[in-house]
Structure 1
Amino acid sequence: MAFRGKSIDKDYILIHDYSCCKCEENDLSAEAQHFCPQCEHYLCDRCVRMHRDYFKKHIVYGRGEIQKWVRFSIDRCEQHGKELEVHCDDHQELCCCLCVALNHRLCSSISHLPDLARGFLKTAKFRQIPEAMDEISRRLDELKNTRVKDQASVNDTYNNFMAQIKALRKEINKILDKLENDTVKHFESIIKDLKKDVKDDLENCDRMNDQLETMFDMLQQITDKHKETSTYISFKKCQTKLSEAYSLVQEIQKRPNVRIGFKLDKTVLPFLRKLKNLGNVRSMPKETYSMHVYKAQSSAKYNVKIKEDLNECHIVGICELPSEDFVIADCYNFRVKLLNVSYQVIDHCNLPACPRDLCHIAEQEIAVVVNADCKLHEVHFFTVSRGKLQAVRQFKTGHECFSIAHHQGQLYVGSDNALFLYAMNGQLKKSVYELISGVHTCAVSPDRERIYITNTSASKLMILDKHSQVLSALEHTNLVEPTGLCVSNSGHVFVCGSMFNSVLQVDMEGRQKLTTVVSGEASGLYYPQSVWFSEQTGSLIVGNNEENSILVVKLC
């Protein structure tokens, strides 16, 4: 047997996972500890020393890299390192002599590999191998690309949800801060009143004491002079003042002895303790989103005109923040407006020209495109904090600005006849797509695989791939002069058909209309210009042409 690196005669049967090739040539048995891929030899410790003397440039792998041994020897058994000799037809496995001895002694059919291989090069199965390899390689590449996109989508979803969670936490903090401030103000108001009462009583007591003391001194002085009439007059005045003093004492004593009590309202604590999280997270297949079709359940209008507005409102852009507040672009009044969760205008900012569209960037930041004929074409950025809009920066473009969309730190800005890609710092990266005219609104799918454009001139919803190739161009009778466009984080696509006062839901690929969600002036639509789908509230928010209100449609 092999003992301390020594070889023994092969007559003594030893089973090694890999045996030394050189020892086997001399009818010896030794376990291999090394492998040379160039020679395709398994070597024991003794034989590897001689091998290195002869082949100094050969790379030899030791037991620590045993996973590299097998791939260099296709005709070797992966388990035992010996030459593959037979095929077990029962188990459909290639076997060496040790495999047969250990695992396949009871098998009914074992074939000799040279017999099976005879004439195999001419068979159809062998000739089909390259094609099959190409096909599976192509499918693996497609699957890899899909999963890379899924990875990006997961990251986007994570960032979006984290922004929503942080915004909700901020909103909760804001509510708690308001409750605290209101409670403190009420408490301070009560304390102020009590302090005033005590202060007034102290001042009245001091004043009455001073008056009594003065009156008594005067009485004594007159009495000492023995003037009876003057003394009597002074006496009567003393009695009157004493009467006033008794009345003051009685008045103060009759007042209740006020003590301030405060009882904490702890009803909110059990509710918060019952909550397991700030929202429900569900993992859903993509098909669940793409096939979900919505219908209108109810609707209501909310006034968005403010006293500073000189013209009728013309809402050309809508987006929702993680805090569930909304920002709208009012074209005819040159301003953006901030709406709270009840769709009430709580703040606004003026712009140097007509806003034409806006989009959500990240967390509480938005971007707005403004346009004034051939004079002014700019992108303005705003943040929202504590219910206030604040302008932060801007950049100019060399073309008209009618639409804007954002995806992963890049801005898609549309003119009347082209779509351009910008970096966030205003650097023009490339022209994405060009047509004769009619670009109204643009949007990007969550995975950036599709770019959507409403073409008012051709009355089409155009869908491009990420390489700017046209995938489809949807036409529909209710989609004449399409304007507003919205693609939600889950891929739901909604588009306005202004001519027939309708809002349609289309499939993610833009190949077919799924449903007409809402239509007709009777439903509250009047040449709709903008649309937003709130997944947080399950509502569709629509901005009309020259109307002082937005339409909020509850979907189901």
Structure 2
Amino acid sequence: MQGSPYQAIIATGATPVSVRIPSDTSNFCIAGICGLFNGQILIADNYNKSLKLLDLQNKAVVTFCDMPDHPRNMCLITPCQVAVAVQSGIQFVSVNSGQLVKGRRLQLPHNCRGVAHHQGDLYVTSGTALYKYTLTGTLVDKIYEDISISDAVYKCAVSPSGDIIYVTNCNNKLLTLARDGAVISTFTDTELQRPSEVHVTPAGQVLVCGYLSNTVIQVDSEGKKKIATLAAKKDGLQSSRSVFYNWKSGSVLVGQSDKNILLFNLK
């Protein structure tokens, strides 16, 4: 595991990993990637309305489950349970004996674009606002709102300490918010066009996907400056939609639209 939020993550090369299964009716749109504590990887395939369990060692999907709507994002709740943002709600899914089992679903009174979890709190983005809920679906607070464009509050991630919340704004911005929603900083960069996902590693490193710029960049924990460009179009990246730092294997997975996942080994 990388030790400091300011330590650059450096990729050495990309290996394509297919997540196609026979029942797929469309190309992929990998809207979310999440690692379980046993080393397996969960993939949210938006276009095919499914959640897929990936054995990374064998680079194969071992099982899947259909979702009630197009999954847009997901986060880990327990070592074997995730929360999946699906249009107007949050669907909980558990991994039991190698199978994906759908549990309860929270119906929320707004769209659900992104979801993050920290110590029993669910952070949910609607496209125009960031909300905090309990795990049972009780609204705690509307933390932040921006109605200037339809996806001004798109995806979110929380720092390991829970003090900082990162929000992607599809108008080419990454917002860094305090716990109360106050804007700490607004980050823009030519290598971050239409940011589609933000992910925080266990050490606090911040990774952001640029969907139109075909990039994954690393930003400092205050959201003020770029530390490194982890992957770009020259590495085979196209339409990056999701990113996950897999500390168990020392690699980074990047989900794309209409293409395989890319697995980057790290120096």
Tell me the TM-score normalized by structure 2: 0.95
Find the aligned partners of 2:153 and 2:258 in 1 and give their Cα distance: 21
1:385 Cα deviation from its structure 2 partner: 2.1
Per the alignment, residue 389 of structure 1 pairs with 100
Whichever structure has more strand as a proportion of its residues is: 2
Aligned-residue sequence identity (percent) comes to 36
Gaps of 5+ in 2: none
Per the alignment, residue 256 of structure 2 pairs with 544
Q: What's the CA shift string for 1:224-248, capped at 9, x where partnerless?
A: xxxxxxxxxxxxxxxxxxxxxxxxx
Report 1:198-347 matches (<5 A): 288-342=3-57, 343-347=59-63
1:355 Cα deviation from its structure 2 partner: 0.7
1:466 aligns with 2:179: yes
Find the aligned partners of 2:119 and 2:238 in 1 and give their Cα distance: 34
Find the aligned partners of 1:524 and 1:405 in 2 and give their Cα distance: 28
Per the alignment, residue 83 of structure 2 pairs with 367
AA aligned opposite 1:542: V
- Within the candidate set 169, 173, 195, 1:482 is matched to 195
Larger radius of gyration: 1
Report 1:95-114 matches (<5 A): none
Q: CA RMSD in A?
A: 1.3
1:511 aligns with 2:224: yes
Per the alignment, residue 178 of structure 1 pairs with none
- Within the candidate set 137, 161, 164, 1:447 is matched to 161
SS class of match (2:75): strand
Find the aligned partners of 1:294 and 1:369 in 2 and give their Cα distance: 28
Find the aligned partners of 2:127 and 2:50 in 1 and give their Cα distance: 21
- Considering Cα pairs closer than 8 Å and 6+ residues apart, tell me whether 1 or 2 has the greater RCO: 2
1:532 aligns with 2:244: yes
Which aligned segments of 4 or more residues in structure 1 are displaced greater than 3 angstroms? Answer: none
1:298 Cα deviation from its structure 2 partner: 2.0
Per the alignment, residue 399 of structure 1 pairs with 110
Per the alignment, residue 495 of structure 1 pairs with 208
Whichever structure has more helix as a proportion of its residues is: 1
Find the aligned partners of 1:543 and 1:401 in 2 and give their Cα distance: 19
- Within the candidate set 117, 128, 134, 1:423 is matched to 134
**8 Å contact kept, 2:13–2:235:** no
Find the aligned partners of 1:291 and 1:370 in 2 and give their Cα distance: 33
Find the aligned partners of 1:349 and 1:499 in 2 and give their Cα distance: 30
1:355 aligns with 2:71: yes
1:534 Cα deviation from its structure 2 partner: 1.0
Q: What's the CA shift string for 1:57-94, capped at 9, x where partnerless?
A: xxxxxxxxxxxxxxxxxxxxxxxxxxxxxxxxxxxxxx
1:473 Cα deviation from its structure 2 partner: 0.5
Find the aligned partners of 2:95 and 2:17 in 1 and give their Cα distance: 21
1:290 Cα deviation from its structure 2 partner: 2.0
Find the aligned partners of 2:6 and 2:231 in 1 and give their Cα distance: 18
AA aligned opposite 2:245: F
Find the aligned partners of 1:502 and 1:293 in 2 and give their Cα distance: 15
Q: What's the CA shift string for 1:201-224, capped at 9, x where partnerless?
A: xxxxxxxxxxxxxxxxxxxxxxxx
SS class of match (2:4): helix
Find the aligned partners of 1:339 and 1:487 in 2 and give their Cα distance: 21
Find the aligned partners of 1:316 and 1:380 in 2 and give their Cα distance: 15
1:501 Cα deviation from its structure 2 partner: 0.7
Find the aligned partners of 1:434 and 1:546 in 2 and give their Cα distance: 31
**8 Å contact kept, 2:145–2:153:** no
1:378 Cα deviation from its structure 2 partner: 1.4
SS class of match (1:516): strand
Find the aligned partners of 1:305 and 1:417 in 2 and give their Cα distance: 33
SS class of match (2:25): coil
**8 Å contact kept, 2:75–2:83:** yes
1:341 Cα deviation from its structure 2 partner: 2.9
SS class of match (1:496): strand
1:299 Cα deviation from its structure 2 partner: 1.5
1:430 Cα deviation from its structure 2 partner: 1.1
AA aligned opposite 1:370: V
SS class of match (1:289): coil
Find the aligned partners of 1:291 and 1:451 in 2 and give their Cα distance: 17
